[in-house]
Amino acid sequence: MTDVSAAAKKAPAPVAVPLKAGQEVRIFQHSNLLYWWIVWFYGFICAGLTYMYGIGIKELAGTAAPDKTVLYYPSPWLGTSFLALLVFVIMFTNIKARGVYSFVVLMLIGFAAGIIQYTLGWERVFTWMPLLRIHLNLAFYLTFSITLLAVWLIGIFLIDRFTYWRFVPGQFIEEHRLGQGLGQTYNTEGMVIRRLPDDLFRHKILGLRFLGLGTGDLVVKPAHADAVQLDNVWHASKKQRAGERMIATRIMGT
């Protein structure tokens, strides 16, 4: 009777299934360059507005083409908003604020806004804003956005895919497309996948979680090896569930 009770308490064995062609889960991690899409996207919007509504200014005398006109958007808010977005992306792709710390950052921003209101008053700040006249021309928006888009495409769809990880029934494998060949291989027995707390600014806002996309950071912990952290994974929850199914599955006949 004791043997039967002990056997009943044992964890269920992994499910044995035949391995089908293509039965695997691939996970690509990305650099923080992934979140710079909004900069080149907004840059093209600024270029379009400047092209449609910009005013032409003659180049300075003595230049190679003195009769050439340079297009600027008449209002300085366009250049100011572009630089503000650039600073926002630089800041929050390099400063990690996971989980509750994201709300701490929001509280600090609100506290700073309250201090400004108490000491200077936002009305006075807004009266100073028109004095800050930032005008960026059409050539700048186009050159910057096209260059950044090219770097973004190469980084996200080429360089970030040189190395990836894949789950197959019974194994977690590091793959290299060039040079190094096969990387590390781990047995999935006893392996655990967990998802790190989200960063409000990176994973939810810049990662477009509100549109049903979103990114996340995963940690894969083999039973007898160091943990592997995979940063900025698209659809992290979906990849986590798929990986857990692979961990619970072994190849028939092994």
CATH number of the CATH domain containing 185: 2.30.29
Question: Where a domain ends, among 157, 175, 202?
Answer: 157
More confident residue, 245 or 11: 245
Q: What is the mean pLDDT of residues 220-247?
A: 92
β partners of residue 171: 168, 187
Bridge partners for 164 per DSSP: 175
The residue out of 123, 138, 157 marking a domain boundary is 157
Q: Is residue 19 part of a domain?
A: no
Please compute the mean of the pLDDT values over residues 68-75 and round it to a whole number: 86
- The residue from 135, 157, 179 where one domain ends is 157
Mark whether 145 and 189 lie in a shared domain.
no
Listed in sequence order, the residues at least 6 apart from 155 whose beta carbon sits closer than 8 Å to its beta carbon are 31, 33
Burial tier of 161 (Cβ tally within 10 Å: 0-12, 13-18, 19+): middle
Number of independent structural domains in the chain: 2
185 and 95: one domain? no
Residue in the block written with tokens 């990114």: 215
Quick check: is 236 in a domain? yes
Do residues 211 and 166 share a domain?
yes
Does the pLDDT value for residue 67 go beyond 90? no
User: How high is the pLDDT of residue 5?
Assistant: 44
Angle between helices 138-157 and 37-53 (to 10 degrees): 150
Three-state secondary-structure class, residue 27 = strand
Question: 115 in a domain, yes or no?
Answer: yes
Same-domain pairing of 177 and 198:
yes
Q: What share of the chain has pLDDT > 70, as a percent?
A: 82
Is the separation of the CB atoms in 177 and 161 below 8 Å? yes
β-strand pairing of 55-58 with 171-176? unpaired
Asked if residue 134 and residue 64 are part of one domain, the reply reads yes
Q: Is the pLDDT of residue 206 over 80?
A: yes
135 and 169 together in one domain: no
The token duo for 108 is 């600090």
| Position 11 in a domain | no
pLDDT reported for residue 93? 92
| Residue 188 and residue 87 share a domain | no
Same domain for 225 and 137: no
Whether residue 166 is found in the same domain as residue 192: yes
In a domain, 14, yes or no: no
In angstroms, the CA 93 to CA 112 distance is 21
Tokens of 175: 């793959």
What is residue 63's predicted lDDT score, i.e. its pLDDT?
Answer: 57
When pLDDT is averaged across residues 87-91 and rounded to a whole number, the result is: 93
Write the pLDDT tens digit of every residue in 99-112: 777 778 778 878 87
- Average model confidence (pLDDT) for the chain? 83
What range does the domain containing 246 cover? 162-251
Cα diameter, the chain: 101
In this prediction, residues 12-41 reach a mean pLDDT of: 77
Are the C-beta atoms of 171 and 187 separated by less than 8 Å?
yes
User: Quick check: 205 pLDDT over 50?
Assistant: yes
